Amino acid sequence: MEVKNIGIFGRRNVGKSSLVNLLLGQDYAIVSPEAGTTTDPVKKRMEIPGAGPCNLIDTAGIDDTGETGSKRVKKSKMIMEQIDLALLLFAGNCFGREEKELLKEFKKKDIPVISVHNQSDIIGLDPGLAEELRKKSGTDVLEFSCCLIDENVQRKKTGELLELIVKNLSGSKERTILEGLVEEKDNIVLVCPVDSEAPHGRLILPQVMAIRDILDHNATATVLQPSELEDYLKKGVPVKLVVTDSQVFKEVGEIVPADIPLTSFSILLSRAKGPFREYIRGAEKMEKLEDGDTVLILESCTHHATCQDIGRIKIPRLIEKHTGKKLHFEFISGLDEIPFPVRPEGKKSYALAVQCGGCMVTRKQLENRIRILREKGIPVTNYGMAIALATGIFRRAVGIFNEI
Ligand SMILES: Nc1nc2c(ncn2[C@@H]2O[C@H](COP(=O)(O)OP(=O)(O)OP(=O)(O)O)[C@@H](O)[C@H]2O)c(=O)[nH]1
Ligand SMILES: [Mg+2]
C-alpha cells in the first residue's frame, strides 16, 4: 500500500512539533517555547486507521528570518513537492501573509489542506475567520489544541483531526496496476523472466502488484518464463491479456497472436502512477530530438542498483541508438530540485525528460515533479515508454488502452 505523506506547516511556535508528538502518541519531535526549535524537516511513519501508512513530516517555521532562517524556509517549502496532504497550523487567529501564501502554493499544487487553529486553549478560533477560511480557501478548518487538560476531550479532539485527515487523503487514491483490465474468472498471463537482472529469490514490485490485483478480482494469474509461453498458448486456454517484462517484449510479441492484447509491466506501472497521456505525448517527442539536445533522466528510486543501471546506461543508449542523434544526458536523483540551466543557441534546458517507473515514490510526488517540467514546456515521458518506443513495441503495448 502506498505511504501517504502529510506535511505540517506554519509559523514558528504554533505547535507543529507538539502536534506530531500528539498524533504519534510519543515524544518524538523536540518541543520548546523557543521559536525556531525545529530546523530540518523531520519524518516519522505512523499507521492512520482508514488512511493506512503515513509519513508525518514536521517542518521548520515558515516565518523564520535571517540567512539560516531563509534556508530553513526553503527546505520546508521543498517538502511541499512530496506531500499528499498539508496541515496548516496557525494560532491566536493570526492568519496573515505567510499563511495565505502557503494556501496559494497548496492550491497551485492541488494539495488538500486542513487549516488547524492550534493553542485554542489560550485563544479560541474566531468564528468569523473560520467561516472566511472555509469559504475562501475551501479547506477544512478545525479549532484545536495540543494541550487539553482532560484526556478524554483531547482524545475526542484528536479523533476529529484524524477523521479530517482520512477524508482529505481519500481523494488521492492510486489506480491499481491492472485497473479496468481484469475481471472475475479472467486468465492473465504474466511473463516474468528469471535472469541475471531479476532480484535473487523474489519478484519485482510491478509483478507482485499484478498478481495481487488479479487475486483481488478472483481471476487467475498464470506466471511463467518466456521460454514456457509458446507451449502454454498452444494449450488453447483462453487468455484475456499478456503482460511481459519489457526487456523480452520483442520475443514475446512474436509468440502472442495479434488478437490477444499484450503490454508490459512498465507501461502498466506508468499508467497506474503517472500522467499516462502526457507520457505518451512525451514518447512521441522522442522521435523529434535533434543533435546537441539535452535529455534529463529523473531517477526517483535512488537506492536500487538495477534502476540506476537502467537510467544511467541503458536508457541513454537506447534513445541515442533509436534517434541516431548525438545527445547530452543529465541525471537527477531522488526528489532533488530540478535546475533549469540556460543553453546556448536558444535550446531548451531539456528537450525531453524521462522519468523512472517511480515504484518508490507516490503518484503525487511524481505529479508535482512533472508539473514543474510542464510549466517550463518540457515534454516528459518515462522509462517504460522510452523502452517501448526504442524497441518498436510502443504501438502494440500502448495501443491496448482506449485512453489514447
Ligand atoms: N497552551 C498551548 N501550548 C501549546 C500548544 N501546542 C504547543 N504548545 C506550546 O507551544 C510551544 C511551541 O511548541 P512547538 O511544538 O515546539 O512549536 P513548533 O511550531 O514546532 O515551533 P518551531 O519548531 O519553533 O517552529 C511549546 O512550549 C509547546 O508546549 C497548545 O495547543 N496549547
Ligand atoms: Mg517544531
Domain range for 316: 277-396
Output the pLDDT for position 66.
87
Last residue of a domain, one of 172, 196, 214: 172
Whose CA is closest to atom 1 on ligand 1? 119
Is 83 within the bounds of a domain? Answer: yes
* Whether 253 and 133 share a structural domain: no
Q: Taking residues 132-140, report their average pLDDT.
A: 87
φ, ψ of residue 92 in degrees (nearest 5): 60, 30
Reference 98, options 84, 119, 115; nearest CA is 115
Q: Which atom of ligand 1 is nearest to the CA of 12?
A: 25
Residues 289-313 pLDDT 10s: 999 999 999 987 665 555 567 888 8
| 141-160 pLDDT, tens digit each | 999 999 999 999 999 999 99
Clarify whether residues 87 and 214 are in a common domain: no
**Pocket test residue of 11, 13, 26 for ligand 1, highest count of atoms within 8 A of CB:** 13
Q: Where are the beta strands (DSSP E) in 260-304?
A: 262-264, 294-299
Which listed ligand is nearest to 10 at the C-alpha?
1
Over range 221-244, report the average pLDDT. Answer: 97
Is residue 166 located within the same domain as residue 68?
A: yes
165 and 192: one domain?
A: no
Q: Are residues 70 and 146 in the same domain?
A: yes
Asked if 144 and 232 sit in the same domain, the reply is no
Which domain CATH number covers 47?
A: 3.40.50.300
Question: Quick one: 209 and 311 in the same domain?
Answer: no
For residues 86 and 330, give the distance between their C-alpha atoms in angstroms, rounded to a whole number: 32
- How far apart are the CA of 314 and the centre of ligand 2, in A? 44
Segment 256-301, tens digit of pLDDT? 999 999 999 988 988 887 788 889 889 989 999 999 999 999 987 6
Q: Kindly state whether residue 179 falls inside one of the protein's structural domains.
A: no
The structural domain count of the chain equals: 3
Q: What is the pLDDT of residues 22-39, one digit of tens each?
A: 999 988 889 999 988 998
Note whether 13 and 80 are same-domain residues. yes
**Does 111 map to a domain?**
yes
Q: Residue 314 pLDDT more than 50?
A: yes
Last residue of some domain: 249, 269, 289?
269
Residue 177 lies in a domain: no
pTM: 0.63
Which residue has the least CA distance to atom 12 on ligand 1? 13
Q: Please report which confidence band the pLDDT of residue 402 belongs to, taking 50, 70 and 90 as the band edges.
A: low
Give tens-digit pLDDT for 202-221: 998 899 999 999 999 999 99
Ligand 1 pocket: which of 8, 18, 22, 143 to mutate (most atoms <8 Å of CB)? 18
How many whole angstroms from 22 Cα to the centroid of ligand 1?
11
Distance from C-alpha of 106 to C-alpha of 8, rounded to nearest angstrom: 12
Q: Which residues are CB-neighbours of 310 under 8 A, at least 6 positions away? A: 356, 383
Same domain assignment for residues 116 and 29: yes
Q: Is residue 403 part of a domain?
A: no
Q: Which ligand is nearest to the CA of 33?
A: 1
**Average per-residue pLDDT in the chain?**
90
CB burial readout 80-103, b (16+ within 10 A) else e: bbbbbbbbbbbbeeebeebbeebb
User: 133 and 100 in contact (C-beta within 8 Å)?
Assistant: no
To the nearest 10°, report the CA torsion of 177, 185, 253, 209: 20
> Are 207 and 161 found together in one domain?
no
Q: Note the pLDDT of residue 272.
A: 84
Examine the pLDDT at 165 and tell me if it is beyond 50.
Answer: yes
Identify whether 288 is part of a domain: yes
In the chain the first and final C-alpha atoms are separated, in Å, by 28
Q: Of 269, 302, 323, which residue is a domain's last?
A: 269
Q: Compute the distance between CA of residue 151 and CA of residue 159 in angstroms, rounded to an integer.
A: 12
Cell 495501443: give the residue: 399
Q: CA nearest 387: which of 304, 286, 318?
A: 318
Neighbours of ion ligand 2 (CB under 5 A): 16-17, 37-38
For 221, the enclosing helix (H) or strand (E) is strand 220-224
In the reported structure, the alpha carbon of residue 13 is separated from the centroid of ligand 2 by a whole-number distance in angstroms of: 7
| pLDDT for 1 | 63
Do both 202 and 142 map to the same domain? no
The pLDDT of residue 404 is 41
In the structure, which protein residues have their CB atom closer than 6 angstroms to any atom of ligand 1? 10, 12-18, 31-33, 35-38, 60-61, 118-119, 121-122, 145-147
C-alpha–C-alpha distance, residues 282 and 373, integer Å? 12
pLDDT of amino acid 390: 86
Interval between CA 11 and ligand 2 midpoint (Å): 9
Q: What is the CATH number of the domain that holds 337?
A: 3.40.50.11410
What is the CATH number for 215? 3.40.50.11420
Structural domain contains residue 180: no
Tell me the CA–centroid distance for residue 46 and ligand 2, in Å: 18
Share of residues in the chain with pLDDT > 90 (%): 58
pLDDT tens for residues 345-390?
878 899 999 998 776 777 778 888 888 898 899 999 988 888 888 8
Confidence at residue 393, expressed as pLDDT on a 0 to 100 scale: 85
Would you state the cell numbers that stand for residue 308, as one nine-digit string?
540506476
Question: Within this chain, do residues 69 and 137 fall inside the same structural domain, yes or no?
Answer: yes
Asked if residue 178 is part of any domain, the answer here is no
What distance in angstroms lies between residue 43's CA and the mean position of ligand 2's atoms? Answer: 12
Q: How far is the CA of 393 from the centre of ligand 1 (A)?
A: 57
